[in-house]
Amino acid sequence: MLPIKWDISFPAPENPEFTFIDLFAGIGGFRIPLQELGGKCVFSSEFNYHAQRAYEYNFGEVPFGDITKLNLDIVPKHDILCAGFPCQPFSISGKMKGFEDTRGTLIYHVFELIEKRQPKVVFLENVKHLVYHDNKRTLSTIVQHLAELGYVVSKKVLNASDFGLPQNRERIIIIGHKETKFDFAKIKKKPKPALKDFLDKENEFEYLDEPYTILDEQKIQDSGLVFAGYRNKTIRKAGVRPGTEHLSRVHKQPNRIYSTEGVHPALPSQESSGRFWIWHEGEVRKLTIQECYRIMGFPNKFKLLNNKAELYKQIGNSVAVPMIKAVGEQIKKQLLKIEK
């Protein structure tokens, strides 16, 4: 840790109301909203070099590297343990006790830390797919082990588009507390906004330079997406009834063009070029990097470091900041009983 106290965008609050740790910290998608809520981050871990640099640039602190090499003694006691951990299958062999069956996976190290430091609250986040991962075994193993560690667990899939962001991004949130079951129903939601209100007026836009089709009739879907059209190439026509080629299911995701009257699809992780095309003011273009960070709810003062490919990857890996803040607000009220 190299605490730098000058010229950083997101300094710790002066009179902190609670403490937290930021595991699998990425670029700090948990840290921004929890600091805004009065939390002081007392430890962070992230082993990707580029993410570490972005984290240091914005928070003035280099996260500890590989969590599998962490000596748990250096982690201070804390109120909330935050982790947007990578999702991996477990090999459950027979009836093992404790969380031995997760040994060799990253969540194992989180369990070990929970056992050692006994945080008041465990705040986990993952892709929606975790619900179905490994025949639903991954999620039930996590919940079971948290229960064995003495936590009452509550979980729900939330969508960034319900928290003021124009992005259809569904993520599972898992909350554990020693006594109280977290009530997701108390989280305040907002109407879905339109992507058009979040776009740059000026920037170096990348326009689609190949033939495409825009549909006459565009309907808003339940998700908030408006399927506007498609790139003409690589449309799968085999086995599709004539005249129905434009239906969304016959197009692979990257071929689809969405209207800015609706929301944007989830920014993908492990994506280095910004995959989706948008239909905006009569033209088809990609989101700019700045727009990607905006539709994840990163404040303008978040400093963008690294090359474009890294910036796309990092934001796709991150979390929707206002969604984490809305959950954090309720954690503070319901579980930490801080009523400010």
Quick check: 26 binds ligand SAM (CB under 6 A)? yes
The piece of 63-71, 141-149, 160-168, 232-240 that touches ligand SAM (CB under 6 A) is: 63-71
Identify the burial level of 158 via C-beta atoms within 10 angstroms of its C-beta, where 0-12 means exposed, 13-18 middle and 19 or more buried. buried
Mask of contacts with ligand SAM, 186-225, x by CB under 6 A? ----------------------------------------
Q: Compare residues 173 and 278 and give the one whose CB is closer to ligand SAM.
A: 173
Shorter beta-carbon distance to ligand SAM: residue 47 or 212: 47
Q: Is 109 helix (H, G, I), strand (E, B) or coil?
A: helix
And the tokens for 188?
Answer: 């305040």
Residue 184 in contact with ligand SAM, rule: CB under 6 A: no
Under rule CB under 6 A, residue 66 binds ligand SAM? yes
Residue nearest to ligand SAM (CB): 26
298 binds ligand SAM (CB under 6 A): no
Q: How many residues bind ligand SAM (CB under 6 A)?
A: 21
Angstrom distance (rounded) from CA 249 to CA 258: 14
Of 64-72, 145-153, 236-244, 254-262: span binding ligand SAM (CB under 6 A): 64-72
Any residues with CB less than 8 A from the CB of 308 and at least 6 apart, and which? Answer: 272, 273, 289
Smallest distance from the beta carbon of 39 to ligand SAM, in angstroms? 15
Q: Does 319 sit near ligand SAM (CB under 6 A)?
A: yes
- Residue 22 CB neighbour total at 10 angstroms: 29
**Does residue number 39 form part of the binding site for ligand SAM (CB under 6 A)?**
no
Continuous segment of H or E residues that includes residue 257: strand 256-259
Q: Is 317 among the residues that bind ligand SAM (CB under 6 A)? A: yes
The contacts of residue 330 (CB under 8 Å, 6+ apart) are 182, 183, 186, 187
∠ CA 28-103-101, rounded to 5°: 120
Smaller CB separation from ligand SAM, 110 or 226 = 110
Active site residue 292: no
Q: Is 36 helix (H, G, I), strand (E, B) or coil?
A: helix
Residue 48 binding ligand SAM, by CB under 6 A: yes
Alpha-carbon 132 to chain mean position: 18
For residue 11, state whether it binds ligand SAM (rule: CB under 6 A): no
* CB-facing half-sphere around the CA of 123: CA atoms within 13 A: 31
Q: Does 105 bind ligand SAM (CB under 6 A)?
A: no
Give the residue, chosen from 68, 203, 213, 244, that forms a contact with ligand SAM under the rule CB under 6 A: 68
Structure-token pair, residue 54: 């972005």
56 binds ligand SAM (CB under 6 A): no
84 scored as a contact of ligand SAM (CB under 6 A): yes
* Binding of ligand SAM by 72 (CB under 6 A): no
Give ∠ CA 38-175-128 in degrees, rounded to 5. Answer: 110
Position of tokens 């108390």?
Answer: 186
- CB of 226 within 8 A of CB of 262? yes
323 binds ligand SAM (CB under 6 A): no
- Within 8 A by CB and 6+ apart from 240, the residues are 247, 250
Q: Does 138 bind ligand SAM (CB under 6 A)?
A: no
C-alpha–C-alpha distance, residues 8 and 174, integer Å: 31
Per CB under 6 A, the list member of 12, 20, 29, 278 interacting with ligand SAM is 29
Using CB under 6 A, pick the residue from 255, 318, 330, 334 that binds ligand SAM. Answer: 318
| Cβ closest to ligand SAM, residue 37 vs residue 226 | 37
Name the amino acid, one letter, at 297.
Answer: G
Positions annotated as catalytic residues are 87
Site residues (vs ligand SAM, CB under 6 A): 24-30, 45-48, 51, 66-68, 84, 86, 106, 317-319
